[in-house]
Amino acid sequence: MKHYELLKLVPGADTVAVQEKLWKCLRQLNDATDQVTHPVVYRSCREEDDYDLMIVVEIAEEERIAEIRSDPLTLKLEGEVEAFIQERKTFDHY
């Protein structure tokens, strides 16, 4: 399953810096577990887009999402970028 998170950043947030923080933490999560693979962080290229960043990861077993969300690395990732996020939208594709 692919998990998507669309992020709208607070006004004035450095999109590239937030993207780099996300990418660094996602690589660590990818290295630490077999459940989360192929992380990618996309940046919007147009000013009129509603969201600034999109995270895409593949999750091996849907049943383990709760375990992944409570993983210390996941919590670290969320803590490092929480102050920069104004709005978040998530969805999964099977």
pLDDT attached to residue 2: 92
Q: Report the distance separating Cα 70 and Cα 66, nearest Å.
A: 6
Domain 2-93 has CATH 1.10.3720.10: no
| Residue 68 vs residues 26, 38, 43: alpha-carbon distances, Å | 12, 15, 24
pLDDT attached to residue 45: 67
pTM of the model: 0.84
pLDDT attached to residue 61: 85
Q: Report the distance separating Cα 30 and Cα 85, nearest Å.
A: 22
Task: Give the tens place of pLDDT for each residue, 5-45.
Answer: 999 999 999 999 999 999 988 888 888 888 888 999 999 86
Domain range summary for the chain, segments of one domain joined by +: 2-93
